[in-house]
Structure formats: C-alpha cells, structure tokens
Structure 1
Amino acid sequence: MKLQPDKSNSLTINAYGPGWIEVNGEKFTHSLTVSSLKGAAPEEWAVNHFEALKTEHFEPLAASGAELVIFGSGQRLRFPQPAWLAPLIARGIGLETMDTAAACRTYNILASEGRKVVVALLMEP
C-alpha cells in the first residue's frame, strides 16, 4: 500500500464549540460557509434558525463550484426539506446532512483529500 501525505491548501476548521467555530485561526459566532476551493474565504451564511431556511439559502452553495455540500444542521441532526435542495439537485451536486460538529470534522477530511467541498454551518443562538 502506497501512502501519501495529505496536501491541502484549503481552509481548515481548527476548533469548534457551542456557539463558535474557528477557521484558520479566526473565530466565528454566526452561521457561515467554508469552502475548500482555491482562493475561498469563510463567508457569513445569512440564516440563524433552522426554521428560517429557504431555497435561496442553498442557491449560492449550488453556484460555488463544489462537487459536494455538507450541511451542518446545528447541535442536533435535522434534514432540509427537499424543495430547499432544488438548486443543488439541478446541478447534480450531492448533499450530506449532519450535526454541525460532525460537519466540521467531515469537511476537514474531505478538504485534506483535495475534494471540492463546501460546508454550510448553522449556528443557532
């Protein structure tokens, strides 16, 4: 078996806790998206309650150029309504849903493998 070191120049989620996430040493306390795509920066995701989610929150994720979107649904696992995912489905982009802590860990693994992945992390007050 040939082993190769991980090569990643993408953003890394360094730490997380209740109400905050640290990306490349910068702490965030609001919902955000993090992308492994070259030149990307963490961006505020303008939603702070699961119940406020709509299709338009998933449209920028579909336009990002990612091959996979990870949705961190907060402290507990909640699945998005199928209608919200229409922009992703139309472009053939996969979506995985998990709680925010699991989404952070999964993003780091996929980004370290060089995958084109975006994570949308819901931070509820």
Structure 2
Amino acid sequence: MKLHEQREQGYLFADYGPDFLKVNDQILRQNLLLSPDRIDTDWPARDFDSLEAAHFEYILVLQPELVLLGTGTQLRFPHPRLLAPLSSQGIGVDVMDIGAACRTYNILMSEGRRVVAAMLLV
C-alpha cells in the first residue's frame, strides 16, 4: 500500500510490504526501529520468536512515549515480561500488523508525538 510522503517533517513510512519498508525514498529489507529523527537498522531483534526483553530495553535510548510493534503480516503479542523494560518506564506499547503500524506511526509522528516503530519483517 502506498502512503503519502512528507519528508520535511522527518522520517515517515512511504510504502510497505511483507518483506520491505520504504522510509521516505529509502527501501529497507530488514527489521528496524524508526523514530521521527532516526532510522536504526542495527536493532538486534531477528524475528518474533527470538524476541527478548533486551530488544525492548534497546529502544529506551530513543526516549519514546509510545512504541508501535509491527509483527509482520500477522498480529502476534509478545509476553508482557518482554515488554517490562518499557512498561516499567511508563512507555506504552501497541502491537499491530506491519501495515497498521506504518499508518499509525505516520499519524502520530505528524502530530508531533515521540513515537518509535519497532518493525519485524517476515
């Protein structure tokens, strides 16, 4: 699905599919963290089944108020103990499929919210 691009505001999802994310003009084919001012392709999460609390602790450096976890084409919920590094800091986590996470991130980011998208591709 093609999304509207507005680069002057920061990093936005411009398009997505089951095996790629397009951020502004850049096509990415790996898991990543996206914040309004940063693309982090070094996020060590490999796939949903290997998620650990340390993967969510890694996100804290971005100082989000909300994290959107995109779990690929299927909605999958991590065990609450994995989210403890974020929830203990009062940071909300919403779990969505990749398309919903892209669309929601763009809306929240355009509203000036400090949102981070943690995206797991299939």
TM-score (norm 1): 0.86
CA RMSD across the alignment: 1.5
Whichever residue aligns with residue 25 of structure 1, its letter is D
Q: Which residue does the alignment assign to 1:94? A: 92
Provide the rounded CA distance (Å) in 1 between the counterparts of 2:59 and 2:115.
10
Match for residue 41 of structure 1 among 23, 38, 41 = 38
Gaps of 5+ in 1: 1-5
Q: Which has the larger radius of gyration?
A: 1
Match for residue 114 of structure 1 among 91, 107, 112 = 112
Verify the 8 A CA contact 1:11 1:23 in the aligned structure 2.
Answer: yes
TM-score (norm 2): 0.88
- 5 Å-filtered alignment, 1:63-102, equals 63-102=61-100
Gaps of 5+ in 2: 1-5
| Matched-pair identity in % | 43
Q: What's the offset of the Cα at 1:24?
A: 1.3
How many residue pairs match? The answer is 115
Is it true that 1:29 corresponds to 2:29 in the alignment?
yes
What is the CA deviation profile of residues 74-119 of structure 1, one whole-angstrom value per residue up to 9, with x for unaligned ones?
A: 1100001111111101110011000111100100000001100000
